[in-house]
Amino acid sequence: MIVLSGLNLNGIEKITDVLKASKFRARQIHNWIYLKSVKTIDEMTDLSVKFREELKKIAVVTDTKIKVKQESSDGTLKYLLEYPDGECVETVLMRFDNRANLTACVSSQVGCAVNCSFCATGKRGFIRNLTYKEIIEQVLTIQRDTGLKVTNVVFMGQGEPLLNLDNVLMAMKIFNENFQIGARRITISTSGIIPGIEKLASVDMQSTLALSLHAPNHEIRKKLMQIENKYPMSELKKALKDYIAKTGRRITIEYLLIKDLNDTLESVKELVAYLHDLKCNINLIPYNSTEKNDYQKPSGNSIMRFKSLLEQSGKKVTVRLERGSDIDAACGQLRGKVDV
């Protein structure tokens, strides 16, 4: 069976050619998949019943199942999706600004090889890359399930997107062209894969780059993220400066604030020194405790002190709103609950 989700207009035209239907039919099917987010071919009501019956003999809308769905009291939705081979990933829908901004947080891999010490996904190790179709299927599933139109996509779910860059780039192109999501509304978050950052700098796509820095110096970063051994902060900075120079775009620095580890006065000073000549905004993420490690969330006072000291350096600093904390909507946590 052909899966319609993930096909571009050319791909759908090949099917309508086989069925000896016009290119206009292909355009109608394309709209039903991407803009109206139907679950079945029967819902494509501007196609004749006879044509729908023929189409159903060779194609389905999707082959991905919702295995678990959780809804937070703040409206965040979290899905565990199952692909035909039985592998699962999670996808989250966050709603901001009275729902005008619907952000899908998508996964790019099953498991992850980077193994950051604070992340449940990393504990599983790497299983496989997702295809671009499996990536976009996550957003389609959200749209089909909610009837809402996703406006922003962030690659901050399971996996390291820059280690699956070809599929991620293809998915971004389809988000942009088929879903009509502006490239600036698509963010790739990386743990700091330097060759991937270099490649991204040379791609003609106005997306946003977010770096999970999480530490003010090499020693603390090594404790939190093994990737620091391979791509240390000193080299990372050079890659980021090159990226900014080539693209002209401001990057986002993600900084997970962990009590007594990287939230001290000394840490702020080191962080300011590291970032002083980088065109960036900073997003502070208070650590969301899990059962699987000893890291703790800093107090509200400590978070505000860290933020205000950083702001004195002239950078724009935000503290990430906690979303879905009552449904384990932090990286990798739902997957861990179901499987372990």
Residues that bind ligand SF4 (CB under 6 A): 112, 114-116, 119, 121-122, 158-160, 191, 331-332
Q: Tell me which residue has its CB nearest to ligand SF4.
A: 122
Nearer to ligand SF4, 96 or 126 (CB): 126
Contacts for 325-331 with beta carbons within 8 Å, 24 or more apart?
Answer: 325/72, 325/288, 326/72, 326/73, 327/70, 327/71, 327/72, 327/76, 327/78, 328/70, 328/78, 329/70, 329/72, 329/76, 329/78, 329/92, 330/288, 330/290, 331/119, 331/120, 331/121, 331/156, 331/157, 331/158
Nearer to ligand SF4, 6 or 196 (CB): 196
Nearer to ligand SF4, 30 or 323 (CB): 323
Cα separation, 338 vs 340, in Å, equals 6
Catalytic residue among 13, 88, 90, 228: 90
Nearer to ligand SF4, 160 or 263 (CB): 160
Q: Which two tokens stand for residue 191?
A: 């743990």
Say if CB 150 and CB 93 are below 8 A apart: yes
Instruction: State in angstroms the smallest separation of the CB of 125 from ligand SF4.
Output: 10
Say if CB 158 and CB 107 are below 8 A apart: yes
Say if CB 190 and CB 209 are below 8 A apart: yes
Instruction: State in angstroms the smallest separation of the CB of 163 from ligand SF4.
Output: 9
Instruction: State in angstroms the smallest separation of the CB of 157 from ligand SF4.
Output: 8
Q: Is 90 a catalytic residue?
A: yes
Instruction: State in angstroms the smallest separation of the CB of 236 from ligand SF4.
Output: 14
Q: Which residues are catalytic?
A: 90, 331
